[in-house]
Amino acid sequence: MTRWKYGNYEFGVNPNGMETSTELVGDNVRTLSGATISQPSFLKDSHSVTSVFYQPRSRAIAQAVVQNSSAVCFDNGQLYVLNRVNDRIDVYSSNLSNRVSSVSLSNLQNKNYVNLDVVSNRFWLVSSVNSSTDSITQLDFNGNIVSSGTISKTMECSGVRYFNGYLWLLRTNGNIEKIRTNDFAKVSIVVLPYELYYSGLSSDSNFLIVGNRDSYNKLYHVDTKTGKIINQIYFDKMNPVYDVTYDGKYFYTINQNNVLQKIDGNTVECDLHLFQYEIENYAFVNMITDMGVSMKVMVSNMSIKRRLEFEHMYEVSMTITKVDRG
């Protein structure tokens, strides 16, 4: 089914209501003698659109126990689990059914592993050196060291993610450090609200994904441009999050008891954030209706209301004004 598009944003469901009004702007003014004074006149088209954004409540759709780990990451259809006891990285199928293979970490001198990420054909491994220093090691898929370095710390590292060309290190106090990969220098820091025990770091194509192991047991989407939490995901039976990874559709979290959960998560506020970002950053965009009609428009008014008693249902209304009128 063809859906509405506003700029780059495609409505998940076509708007359930639309009103159109046409207004004549300008008039013909005359002098006392009756001569017409020319004044431009044009038709102003406005469209009022109402739509409902809804996704079902988050839930765990699978669960399994893995060995000796509280760090997990996803890449190329497989899950990689840091096995601290056996000094290796275990590879599992994405359905959590069986261990496929393992990668030895015998080449590393520092065995005090903290967290793991994998991207393409490289592992990024963070280990604790002492109370003030962490080491970062890049390894290939055979366990050979590609590069390594150290970085200062004030709090323990509880997550690592390679994202948009940088390494991002999560500290337990909510500081997320942006690290260059060539010299391991800190570029900037994203500071999340304090008094939560943040643990676990991943990303989707737009945002970092952060977990916590407090009594809240939530996942957060973090906008690195603003440093703000823009979405949260939770449900009644979510385990405390020690690490999190994302496969493009599902979230995988692991807790201190090595229990791995596969989660179908709600991201409706994240969708609305992207929609608002589109409106705020582009003065005029092309809107295409489900009938294929394209017009250059701007949004002059927008409201977002949560439906009463529905945690993840939002009614979105906006007034769209056609630009190329006349």
pLDDT bracket for residue 326 (50, 70, 90): very low
Closest CA to 270 of 198, 176, 224, 207: 207
Query: What is the length of the chain?
Result: 326
Provide mean pLDDT across the span 171-193.
94
42-69 confidence digits (pLDDT tens): 667 787 888 777 666 788 999 988 888 8
Task: From 248, 245, 193, 196, select the one nearest 217 (Cα to Cα).
Answer: 196
Closest CA to 69 of 80, 55, 58, 53: 80
The confidence score (pLDDT) of residue 269 equals 59
Question: Nearest 5 degrees, angle CA 204-CA 209-CA 212?
Answer: 160
Query: Residue 36 phi/psi, 5° resolution?
Result: -80, 130
Residue predicted with more confidence, 41 or 170: 170
Give 52-111 pLDDT, tens digit per residue.
776 667 889 999 888 888 799 999 899 999 998 899 999 998 887 788 899 999 999 899
For residues 182-195, give the mean pLDDT: 91
Instruction: Give pLDDT tens digits for 116-143.
Output: 999 888 999 999 999 999 999 999 999 9
> Mean pLDDT, to the nearest integer, of 134-158?
94
Give CB contacts under 8 A, 24+ apart, made by 225-234: 227/190, 227/191, 227/192, 229/192, 229/193, 230/269, 230/270, 230/273, 231/207, 231/267, 231/268, 231/269, 231/270, 231/273, 232/269, 233/58, 233/263, 233/265, 233/266, 233/267, 234/58
Is pLDDT at 32 greater than 70 in this prediction?
A: no
